[in-house]
Structure 1
Amino acid sequence: MKEMKEILLNLFLIRDDDHTSPTPFTYLALRPEGNILFATKADISPFYNAIEKKGGVSAVLIGDRHHVSQDTVKLSVHFNAPLIGSRIEAKVLGAKGFTLNASLPYEQRALGNDIEIIPTPGHTTGAFSYLWNNGVNKILFIGDTLVPVEKTWLYWVSPPSRKILADTLNRLKTFEFDHVVSNSFACQGGACRRISNAEKENLLNNTIKQLVSNQ
């Protein structure tokens, strides 16, 4: 049985390091209201038993269209847990033959008492980020919007969407979080990063300047 790694309180990293090529980072959050998978397109079936021993899954959250594959659908079915994302991403995925069980309006909303769903357009038009308060940490699951690569942060966005991403990052300044977690296979040097308020301001401001100057 594959073992998961607890990286923060009640937050487990699910990633098969035996793969020869880089794979996305998937996460399991243990919650009294039901465990959540912050999913990707990776095949995490070798971890199913480990997940079941932690209480299974109540919902599978995706950040954007790039996080869904047949393996994502398979895990949703296996755990009888709805696959959830925005209506915008659901429409794009539907054209590719994938169906989300719950497609949400593209607006900020709460999921239970501890998760805030935040529209973060830029990398894709309907991307969601998720802010989870586990009682000790406030963790922003930022998907592919910003990707930590060693000592820098990168982004992948088309030229027409640079202003949109800059506006998104400006909005993220209003949220309190002390960790940023990315799903991207491109992460290097750790996909979960502790971040102080000063570091958050510097990261967002510097990235906004890059986006604006590259328009």
Structure 2
Amino acid sequence: TPFFMRKEVMQEVAQLSQFDEELYKVIGKGSEKSDDNTVDEKYLIATSEQPIAAFLRDEWLKPEDLPIRYAGMSTCFRQEVGSHGRDTRGIFRVHQFEKIEQFVYASPHDGKSWEMFDEMVGTAEEFYQSLGIPYRIVNIVSGALNHAASKKLDLEAWFPGSQAFRELVSCSNCTDYQARRLRIRYGQTKKMMDKV
């Protein structure tokens, strides 16, 4: 996935509160033309979910094409503001890291997005189990969710060195939040306005 996203697209996939607390902003010249004085604002991605979500921006999806599953592997960047003193040793709370992401565009009908959510959690569990890593699943309380997520589960692995469970995987169901903001539509014709 790309390292940068344009500001207007990032605003459609990320909460504005993330901009100051989490995302790195990059400002540059709008183009190579000598007479172009426009300023181009981009943000470094915090997760490959952001460009994957925007991949089908302004598209109409056919019911028979769903679900559409993606995996993203990317270098991610986060400011980690406010994390001082919290999990700061070792690989936790670093500003640049590699991340693998599962992402699914699913039908809004018949609980399909929830089936895909369960499938993604199951895939993460299978990975932990294949490595023999002890883990637990934590259901994140609604007050701690961002605006996009309807439900979020963290899979926390046991770290014997620190005698603690630490989050390594998060699975969220964003229902139609991102689809509405990105204008990703679902249906046979453009007259149908269901969101993915």
TM-score tier after normalising by the smaller chain length: under 0.3
Greater strand share, 1 or 2?
Answer: 2
Larger radius of gyration: 2
User: What is the TM-score of this pair, normalised by structure 2?
Assistant: 0.27
Q: Which has the higher contact order (CA 8 A, sep 6+)?
A: 2
